[in-house]
Structure 1
Amino acid sequence: MKTLIHAIFIAFTLLLVTACSNSNSSTSSTVIHLNDNWKFSEASQNEWLSAKVPGCIHTDLLNHDLIDDPFYRLNEHDLQWIDKNDWEYKTSFIIDKSTFSKNRINITFGGLDTYADVYLNDELILKADNMFRGWTLNCKEHIKEGENTLRIYFHSPIKVGLELYDNYPYVVQSSANDLAKIGKVPGEKWVSPHVRKAPYMFGWDWGPRLVTSGIWEPISIKAWNTARLDNIHTIQNHITEQSAQLTSVFEVEANEANDATLSISIDGNILTSKKVNLKKGTHTYNVDFEIENPELWWSNGLGEAHLYQLKGELQTTAGIETFSHTLGIRSIELVRENDEVGRSFYFKLNGKPVFMKGANYIPNDVFLDRVSPEKYEHIIKSAADCHFNMLRVWGGGIYEKEIFYDLCDKYGILVWQDFMFACNMYPGHPEFLESVKHEAEYNVRRLRNHPSIALWCGNNEILGAWFGWGWKENNEKEQPHGAKAMWQAYKDIFLDVLPKAVEAHDPAKQYWASSPQAGDTIKTNKIDGDDHDWRIWFRDVPFITYHDGAARFVSEYGFQSFPELKTIKKYTIPEDYDINSEVMKSHQRSFIGNGAIKRYMDNYYRNPKDFESFLYVGLLLQAEGIRTGIEGHRINMPTTMGSLYWQLNDVWPAASWSSIDYFGNWKALQYFTRKAFSPIIAVPDTKTDDLLIYCVSDNFDDKQGRLELEIVDFEGNKLWSYQDEVKVKANTSSIIFKKPLKELLKGINTTNAVLSTKLFAEGELVYSTTSYFKEPMELNLPSPKLKVLTKKTDVGYEISISTDMLAKNVYLSFDEAEGWYSNNYFDLLPGETKTIIFETEENIEDYTSKLVVRTLNDTY
């Protein structure tokens, strides 16, 4: 009742303030969006064609059929001329008398890629040089009533980069991911470290080299008189079950000293207001408020990701300015404490230790304007549906668009946010450091209100590369001055500029200088800090190695696969259907990729009989490997408290480490993660002297459980069974079954036997899986007779599958329609029936006859 009376009083007070002012409650500013009627031309050619804004030069050329699809076959190699040219964009717009009469007119460029000279009515108003930041400037003296022209001249990032490279006193170390050879860069020079632009566009070991230019974020004009509300940062001071004490920091730019009222409303209800005396210029003003009995924001699987809608208002005699953001009330902490193993590395959410389950995330396309809201939703929802609670936004891409973080907020996905530095050393001259400073401040301020942001990380793998890849030693030998200068630049950027930006603008969050590392200048180890575990991919060790010596937090590890044939058909022709064809090799950017896949496949599977079978087995190989990694990390809980595999998604259709291909199709790995990341799992370890069953739970409470084990042969005959009551211990891993394998398997032909594991908690089946005592290549797989029934539904088709004998890794595919299978690549035990939903919006003729169903046995 007290809160209600207070809210009524505040509302009445605001009504009086409004009534006594010279303005009604309308907004005090005018906003004009400048995203239409653009044209582009190659510089100095004066051949203007319609352009899309936001967009980029490659997609504009593609939309006019001036280039072929860059992703198709070898077309990428023929399009390297585009980034060597300069390009121009122009538009015109009207400023009416009312807007022109405003005291202040600002123009904001959300993102210019990258070296851009901006002319307003033929006057130079901006020289942009950083893709990763926005630019706002007062254009009152350059704008006019009536028609105005806006022209942007984009300099070639390669030509500018070469000039910077050639005039720098030493060669700045880059990784082999700067594909200068494919880019036909003179001298194959590494220009990417000098250019503040998405590094992945210069090529990576999973992506093409397509270096864009263009207007990649919206442009707008805002005209206003007295003051504008530029930003609100809401700080969570103290949280209990009864109350959340918060402060919203209003950032206001005023043309002159003035009286104003600031107010805060939550979900449409006014909580507080405050009268302030605005000072001329840009200043901040604090407004404290309280939310009683707050609903907390929890990560996926632990509770609701509750979001409040906060709106702040600035009211002056000119009218009302508003700024809104979602508010998730939660605490997040990276815990670094000495323990019996070494030093911990785990996150506490709302005071609870949480094992982080997820993947590394890269941009969804080389051409950022092609990523639709629907694709963002599909990628983030897929992660949530597979029990992810964290994504690492990798430092070689972009600071993602707002929709990405909104979706992470909505689905309860925490974000490990890298700054955009990856696998390169960087220049350290004052102009570069100043640019990085503005970039960091801009993005920290832009993203800090999102409850999903868990950590700010300086860079990807630079510390590890300097001390572990031979960079330090090679540069000290070849260019001693350059080596010293590069290390100083590292310290200036990652130990000074970036942490200062976080401290100044988002002090509640923690900063981690490099991933991986054990400390700010200490390379990674297994007992302290985070780790990128690439033993499996690069060292040819068995997948089961993931169960040994897991680090405190594994923030990268992975294994490659090609996508399924349905995807490969979209960028190839049948003549390319060989992993050693020129097209397939060009869409395989890892220098060891095909060889590593083949070597591992030879260790686990029989030689596939044809190209399509090779793709299918490769998908299983990747899925089994990373499943083993996830399980290895989780059974090592709480010593290990994070498992983020490389990588979730793709920027183009190709061989990569992704679990979702470029077109949004789930690979086998994505289906396997849904099981491996389940809130409660029972992990059989059949590769030691004992059969061990580990129980792992993310829940905060113990549960009473029951374990059911059964060994059957591939024809369905029961060979052994066991069941017993077990305790599902809260938020940890424990062994719930142990028995010597020699004793257990006595008299059993292990080439013809499968272990079925089922775990119940509080009477509910929470986890089931199948395991084997031999590798797939050693199994004596039968030829099952599958019975497949289909039925049309409102969302697509229901598919019922049963079998007389073991059907290993049942795979469903349908090339003629886009859609999603609720389950795929699964084992089907003798006599078992599974029902799968194929979701599609397409109308299909003869679906049943065209549905392809395959098992591992079909690949021999």
Structure 2
Amino acid sequence: MKLISNVLLLIILSGLVACSPQIKKQSATTIELNSGWQFSEADQNEWRTASVPGCVHTDLLNHELIEDPFYRLNEHNMQWIDKKDWEYKTTFTIDKSTYSKEQIALNFEGLDTYADVYLNDQLILKADNMFRGWEVDCKNVLNEGENTLRVYFHSPIKVGLDIYDNYPYVVQSSANDLAKIGQVPGEKWVSPHVRKAPYQFGWDWGPRLVTSGIWEPVTLKAWDNAQLVTIHTQQKVLNDSEAKLTSTFEIEATADETAQLAINIDGQQLANKKVHLKKGTHTYPIDFTIENPQRWWSNGLGEAHLYQLEGELSTSAGTESFEHTLGLRTIELVREDDEVGRSFYFKLNGQPVFMKGANYIPNDVFLDRVSPEKYEHIIKSAADCHFNMLRVWGGGIYEKEIFYDLCDKYGILVWQDFMFACNMYPGHPEFLESVKHEADYNVRRLRNHPSIALWCGNNEILAAWFGWGWKEDNEKTQPEGAKAMWQAYKDIFLDVLPSAVNEFDPDRQYWASSPQAGDTIRTNKIDGDEHDWRIWFQDVPFITYHDGAARFVSEYGFQSFPELKTVKKYALPEDYDINSEVMKSHQRSFIGNGAIKRYMDNYYRNPKDFESFLYVGLLLQAEGIRTGIEGHRINMPTTMGSLYWQLNDVWPVASWSSIDYYGNWKALQYFTRKAFAPIMAVPDTKTDDLLIYAVSDKFEDTPAQLNLEILDFEGKQLWSHSADVNIKANTSTIVFKEALKSLLKNINTSQVVLSTKLSVDNKLVYETTSYFKEAKDLILPKPNINTKVEKVAKGYQITVSTDKLAKNLYLSYDEAEGWFSDNYFDLLPGESKTIVFETKEDINNLQKQLLIRTIQDTY
């Protein structure tokens, strides 16, 4: 959603002069103040050009005053930056026409974090919260002509330390506040006290780089009579014939006046209304109806149809507009008693929908570096792999508008956390008041997006207090502090945040903490959502994901390092060892390398070198999470959600991500495209029986043909089965079962592969390969792989074929930026596969330079 600037409207309307007898007079002038900025370390008076939106780290980097913080161990040398105060300044000119307006306000959409704002050397604002915007009436200190604007940023660490040292108790934080790396005196946890992005203080996948700066745009708005602050559109009735809606205009007026309101949908006026404005800020509803409405559906279930809504306010001073997209749909979190316990699933447009997706974190530790193209790549990658939900995790940021616009466009529902994660928080009145403003601001900002499905109070705080020993530890060491922290929890997550949702977005539901069981304290498998970390922390087999899945799994994951071409961007060849200082610094999980190595020993042979280790590690992660996704889906409808940790990265690192920092798909991302397929057949080869589960997201039964083959690695068929099956709607059913003992009689299971194919109307819709032994126990042949490369519009078309099984065939070309349309796949003997290497670069003789690897090449 956005206010249409005066300049933009004049441009649009200028194009209509020939066909329109009148151009509407505009009541408001909006001026962007995002250029001409300079910055300096406070009191040093060494001014250099700055970027707004931006931050001090990227400004220092742009002037080559610091080295790349992500390269090798440079992060550790950057910790002085957050201990300093910094200043930003600019000048701007106000013409007579603008200055003559009745009201003029400065709007800062985001200040990070402790900022004193001076206009013409007068203090007009003291900001203390990164997560909200600030609007300041400023006409009384503004000059006609030239003006100076200066923002003084106090060190968030120094401010945090002052609060910490004077607070009556220590507010519990997690090990993710990397105060040691941050060189904080006494290694004190200041992050709970500071309302800025928690992940910047360090996490088990991220660096410690605590920023300051003007991280969102700055504008000046001048207006007469009245301004249209915002519009909130609520759906009252939705059926096949009509949608009845109400748009509530929030208007600030300088005096009582008569005004005209109008609603346009896709350029057609559907309603108008005369209203009597009252002085001050008030709301004015206007009802309208859309005939034969098209619903907004999540990815895979139908079109994510969007209408364009424009609301107009016309007064004697002119007309002002406010736009937002509109998606017509119903969304409900269903919590009902059933034979298992209590349900936890989302119903979209009256239909239960299994949620397929991941947890999402910011795309960079420096937020100004995330381009629109990067946002598009991440969200489109999710959509292309059949995701229908992303959880915006509570340790990052309330994302920028473009993120939600793209989720609206691609049909990705959003589980939206408030920005609280893995910490207890203070509960004094000033902190609670700041949180209230933060919550109000962001709920109001995001509520018109059809993609928003749920508001969630926090990440893992309830689980930490009652399950990680925090409650007991604090009751022993600081009993009054323990009592105060739990009261603060209740004040924030059971009062302030749900009150904001109830007041400003009453049509959506609120869930206090993730994970949580019912309305009580912790998770369990028969109720609520679960963070399932058994595999990572308890060394249990991947197949455990198939056992007793929870109602909704909102976190689970397994790590990998990125591929070599990414490692090359932050390390040197002498660092190519997971135990080198550089690689350990880019591995923030305290058990990370050990867990990867233990699981790798369980499933794969020991890789012969570092590059092979990276490749096998990527497969290990992909196989593990694929097993998890399939385990959740075959447990439909008991389990109705699978959101793995995590989709993306904030820097190049070993992490749980499926897309690395540079946007490269890991093996896991390719595997999700198959594991989240709308219709699939899941073989289970790890029990006494061979079981084939048919899983469908569709709302109708689907007749299909199931074809099974057991082949040896040379391509000889040892067994086959074909049958017509009925794939039941929106659930999982077993469509084949046979005892493995009889099925595999006289078959060497170390040398065979199970091919499973599913066809609908004789068209192949799903295929997969499975094994009866782990990869380390397979006797794999050396395949002869042939390639044929052709130049095509998007890059290069590559056809690969093999005479013998090529397990987890991997293609790479590190000398050009690009993307392979498929990778890490099994290629059966005698079969060929055509993929595309999408790149804008011209490559001489790609066929000879293309690197191809299979599992057999790693030992």
TM-score band by shorter chain is over 0.9
Q: How does 1:391-790 map to 2 (within 5 A)?
A: 391-790=390-789
- Look up the match of 1:838: 837
Contact 1:336 1:345 in 2 (8 A): yes
Aligned residues of 1:358 and 1:388 also touching (Cα < 8 A): yes
* Partner Cα distance (2:53, 2:537) in 1: 40
Equivalent residues of 1:395, 1:419 under 8 A apart: yes
* 1:223 counterpart residue number: 222
By how many angstroms is 1:521 displaced? 3.4
CA distance in 2, matches of 1:130, 1:431: 12
Paired position in structure 2 for 1:14: none
Which residue matches 1:12? Answer: none
Unpaired runs of at least 5, structure 2 = 1-21
- Is contact 1:206-1:656 (8 Å) kept? yes
Q: Distance in 2 between matches of 1:146 and 1:786?
A: 72
Aligned to 2:11: none
Matched with 1:258 is: 257
Tell me the percent identity: 79
Q: Is the 8 A contact 2:25 2:317 kept in 1?
A: no
Residue matched to 1:106: 105
2:813 is aligned with 1:809: no
- Shift in Å at residue 26 of structure 1? 2.3
1:82 and 2:61 correspond: no
Look up the equivalent residue of 1:697 and give its one-letter code: S
Cα separation, 2, equivalents of 1:558 and 1:703: 32
Q: What's 1:287 paired with?
A: 286
Q: Distance in 2 between matches of 1:325 and 1:741?
A: 57
The Cα of 1:520 is off from its aligned counterpart by 3.6
Counterpart of 1:6? Answer: none
* Residue identity opposite 1:156 in structure 2: S
Q: Secondary structure at the match of 2:313?
A: strand
Q: TM-score, length-normalised on structure 2?
A: 0.97
1:194 alignment counterpart? 193
Q: Matched residue of 2:622: which SS?
A: helix
C-alpha distance in 2, partners of 1:76/1:753?
48
Structure 2 counterpart SS, 1:810: strand
Post-superposition Cα deviations, 1:23-46, rounded to whole Å, max 9, x if no partner, equal 961211111100000000000000
Q: Give the aligned partner of residue 19 of structure 1.
A: none
Number of the residue aligned with 1:161 = 160
AA at the equivalent of 1:552: R
Name the amino acid aligned to 1:818. E
Deviation at 1:762, TM superposition (A): 3.2
* Residues 377-421 of structure 1: per-residue CA shift (max 9 Å, x gap): 000000000000000000000000000000000000000000000
Quote the Cα distance in structure 2 between the aligned partners of 1:240 and 1:675.
34
1:630-669 CA-partner distances (Å, limit 9, x unpaired):
0000000000000000000000001000000000000000
Q: Does 1:276 align with 2:248?
A: no
Distance 1:372 1:750 in 2: 49
Match of 2:140, SS state, is coil
Q: What is the one-letter code of the residue matched to 1:116?
A: A
Provide, for residues 190-234 of structure 1, a one-character-per-residue CA deviation record: whole Å limited to 9, x for no partner.
Answer: 000000000000000000000000000000000001000000000
Asked if structure 2 preserves the Cα contact closer than 8 Å seen for 1:517 and 1:529, the reply is: yes
Q: Which residue of 2 aligns with 1:297?
A: 296
Query: Deviations for 1:689-712, whole angstroms, at most 9, x for unmatched residues?
Result: 000000000000011111100000
Report the counterpart of residue 858 of structure 1 in structure 2.
857
SS of residue in 2 equivalent to 1:848:
helix
What CA distance in whole angstroms lies between the structure 1 residues aligned with 2:239 and 2:661?
44
**Residue type at the aligned position of 2:631:** G
Contact 1:514–1:520 (8 Å) recurs in 2: no
Secondary structure in 2 matching 1:516: coil
Q: Letter of the 1:297 partner, please give it.
A: W
Render the CA deviation track for 1:587-636: whole Å, top value 9, x for unaligned. 00000000000000000000000000000000000000000000000000
CA apart distance, 1:764: 2.2
Answer yes or no: is the 8 Å Cα contact 1:24–1:319 preserved in 2. no
Spell out, residue by residue over 1:10-64, the C-alpha distance to the aligned partner (whole angstroms, 9 max, x if none): xxxxxxxxxxxxx961211111100000000000000000000000000000000
Q: Contact between 2:796 and 2:836, CA under 8 Å: does it hold in 1?
A: yes
Deviation digits for residues 799-838 of structure 1 (CA, Å, limit 9, x no counterpart): 0100000000000000100000000000000000000100
* Deviation, structure 1 residue 846: 2.2
CA RMSD of aligned residues (A): 0.6
Q: Give the CA deviation at 1:849.
A: 1.3
How far residue 320 of structure 1 moved from its aligned partner, in angstroms, is 0.1
> In the alignment, residue 822 of structure 1 is paired with which amino acid?
S
Q: How far does residue 845 in structure 1 lie from its aligned partner after superposition?
A: 1.8
Q: Distance in 2 between matches of 1:157 and 1:596?
A: 35
CA distance in 1, matches of 2:336, 2:556: 24
Counterpart position of 2:339:
340
Q: CA deviation at 1:175?
A: 0.1
Structure 2 counterpart SS, 1:295: coil
Shift of 1:519: 2.9
What is the TM-score when the length of structure 1 is the normalising length? 0.97
1:570 aligned partner, one-letter code: K
Equivalent residue letter for 1:440:
A
Q: State the alpha-carbon separation in 2 of the partners of residues 549 and 339 from structure 1.
A: 16
Look up the match of 1:8: none
Secondary structure, aligned partner of 2:535: helix
Name the counterpart of 1:7. none
Alignment of 1:359-374 (within 5 A): 359-374=358-373
- Conservation of the 8 A alpha-carbon contact between 2:758 and 2:766: yes
Matched residue, 1:121: 120
Contact 1:756 1:768 in 2 (8 A): yes
Partners of 2:152 and 2:619 in 1: CA distance: 49
Extract unaligned runs of 5+ from structure 1: 1-22
What pairs up with 1:23-34 in 2 under 5 angstroms?
Answer: 25-34=24-33
Contact 1:495 1:520 in 2 (8 A): no
Opposite residue 231 of structure 2, the aligned amino acid is I
User: Secondary structure of 1:463's partner?
Assistant: helix
1:703–1:762 CA contact under 8 A, matched in 2: no
CA distance in 2, matches of 1:106, 1:297: 37
